[in-house]
Structure formats: C-alpha cells, structure tokens
Amino acid sequence: MRRTGRRRAEAGGDGRGDGLQGSLLREIAAAPGRLPEALALFALRHLGPGAGPSVERLRAAHPDADATALRALVVTRGRRRVTAEGSFVGGPFLFLIPVAFCGALLAQARIVLELAATEGRDTTDPERAAELLVLQGVYADTAAARAALDAAPDRSRSESRRGRMTALRDLVLRMAWLLGLLTPSDEKVGLWTRIGQWALVGCVFLVGLVAPLVWLPYMAFSYNRATNRLVDRATVFYIGSRDLRTSRGIRVDPATAVAGLRALGSMMLPTVALLLVIATDTRIAGGRWPVVGIVLTTGCLVTGGWWLWRRRRQRREAPP
C-alpha cells in the first residue's frame, strides 16, 4: 500500500493521475480561449502540492547528487512521463488525442514546478502559474501573465455556435502549440522545411491508420524535442544559465528506440495478414479488396487495443 501510494503521488500529485487528464479536458473545453491560463491554474492546484515533496523524495534517494545532478534527474523522469502520457494518438484511437495532449501538458507543467522546487521555490505559490505561462511563450513577462490569470473568463462570447468538430480541432491545435509540437514562433523555418514537416505528419497519419504504433517513435521524438526546449527556458529562468547536463539528453533515447521496435512490430501484423490473404486467394463477393479492408481494420484495432490495454495496466501496476 505504501508503494502504491507513492507511485500515485508521483503520477498525479493526488493519486488521480488518470482523472486529472479528463478533469483538465473538461475545464479547457468549457473555455478553449483560455487554455494556457486554465492549464497553469489547474497545474498549480493539482500538481503544485505534490511537486515539492516529490523533489524532496528524489533528493533523499540520491543524497550524493549535487544541484545539477538533481535537476538532471527531475528532467529525465519528467521527459519520460511526458512521452508516456501523450505519445499514443494514432490508429483507431485518434479520438484520444485531446486526452493524450492533456496528459503531456500536465507532465510538462510538472517538470517546470519540480525545477522550481529544486531551487527552493514554493510550488503552491500563484507566481509559479505566471512563470509557467512565460516559459510556454504565452506572455512576455510574469506581470502580463499575472494580469491574465487574475482576469475573469469572458463568458459573453460563446463558442458553441461553431461546429463541435471545428471547436475540437482548434482546441487540439492550441494544445499542440502549447506543448511545443508545432513550431514555436521564435524559430525560423523555411517553406520547404515546413512542407516537409507536414508531409511527414501526413505519411505517419496514413501509415498509422493501419499500424497505429508508428506514432510511438514519431511522438516520442517530438515530445523529447519540445520538452528539451521548455527545459532550456526553465533552466535559464530559474538558474540564470543553461545547464547542459540538464537540457541535453543522450542522442538516442532508450524509450524512443523501444518505441521504434514496437512500431516495426505493429507493422508486421497487417503485413503478414495481407500476405496470407494473397497466398490463400481469399475473397468476399468475388473480390479481394473487402478482405483487405477487413484485415487491415482488424489488425489496427487489435494492435492498438492491445497497446492501450497494456499501457493502462502498466500505469496501475508498475512499482514506484
């Protein structure tokens, strides 16, 4: 029981890691125009109380670690949490994108709170919410961020007149920008580079409809890159200089490598199934295409469902 309580505290701050994602999604869906502010306040309420004690436990578990090493431990653990919470957005479970993004956003916010805790700052202080908005690039300084946080939500402008799918699309795009998955405004990207990026996303999307786990290495890489940017800014903000040991990870992340192997494995199922269809000349109503469609759809559902079930079981049963 003691181990389970500690694991839940580290996962969600209050033992409701899974529920936090849904709660955040409902909150930001009610006022999508205030997504950054809602996220900052939500993270302060639900993650702030647990961030400080979590760092203290980490410090106690590594008594020989200096300040730089402690920050590196915080970032390494946080980066893995970001990837684990938000990587699965493909195949038959595209409707889970908002939930996955909420999990990743909360994991990134927790990294910032824990980095603040390593410098002795109170993770329940409302100033942390303002700092998070600055580090995410939403506001230029904490004064503007505090003013936005203190402002009452504008309920006069209803967004319900728009189609539900349009509103959901805009919300997902806002979350992707806030996560850093979309190119930050301060990064100059050429036209052809931009076209190549979107072409890659399109290819991953199309292949992911058949083999959903191809999203794992793609999103793991994207999350790592975006989180490194956020960590760089947070380190400069709290420490005053960029800590190379904290902001730079190893070149090949083990989690990304494992995700790549799983993606290749997920592609084997539909490939073998299609070869069997061709070898046995299986047909429905005199045609082979209906069989191909059934095989690909079933393979996608089986692979994606197995991974999703396995991921949830690991979150509930893994040791701290």
Could you read off the pLDDT of 167-206 as tens digits, one per residue?
778 888 888 888 888 765 445 667 777 777 778 777 877 7
**Can you give the pLDDT at residue 11?**
44
How much is the pLDDT for 112?
Answer: 96
Q: How far is residue 162's CA from residue 171's CA, in Å, rounded to a whole number?
A: 12
Give the per-residue pLDDT at 220.
83
- pLDDT 10s digits, 266-303: 777 778 888 887 888 888 877 777 888 888 788 788 87
pTM of the model: 0.78
Percent of the chain with pLDDT over 70: 79
pLDDT (0 to 100) of residue 253: 63
Residue 234 pLDDT class (50, 70, 90 cuts): very high
For residues 228 and 187, is the Cβ–Cβ distance under 8 A? no
What's the whole-number mean pLDDT along residues 210-237? 86
**125 pLDDT higher than 70:** yes
Spatial separation of the C-alpha atoms in residues 200 and 272, rounded to whole Å: 25
For residue 287, give the DSSP letter.
Answer: B
C-alpha–C-alpha distance, residues 11 and 252, integer Å? 25
Does the pLDDT value for residue 212 go beyond 80?
no
Q: How far is CA 215 from the centre of its chain?
A: 12
Looking at per-residue pLDDT, the higher value among 159 and 7 belongs to 159
Residue 94: closest CA among 177, 269, 215:
215
pLDDT of residue 282: 82
What tens digit of pLDDT does each residue of 8-66 get?
444 444 434 557 888 898 888 888 888 999 999 999 999 999 999 999 999 999 999 88
Confidence of residue 242 (pLDDT cuts 50, 70, 90): low
Cα gap 315→84, rounded to integer Å: 10
Cα-to-chain-centroid distance, residue 218: 12
Nearest alpha-carbon partner for 124 in 56, 54, 50: 50
SS3 284: strand
Helices (H), the chain: 2-12, 17-30, 35-46, 48-61, 67-86, 97-118, 127-135, 142-150, 164-179, 191-208, 215-239, 244-247, 254-280, 289-317
Q: Which residue, 264, 227, 200, is CA-closest to 85? A: 227
pLDDT at 13: 44
Structure tokens at 202: 């399109």
Q: How many degrees, rounded to 5, is the angle at CA 75 between CA 172 and CA 38? A: 35
Phi, psi dihedrals of residue 140, rounded to the nearest 5° = -80, -30
Please give the mean pLDDT across all residues of the chain.
79
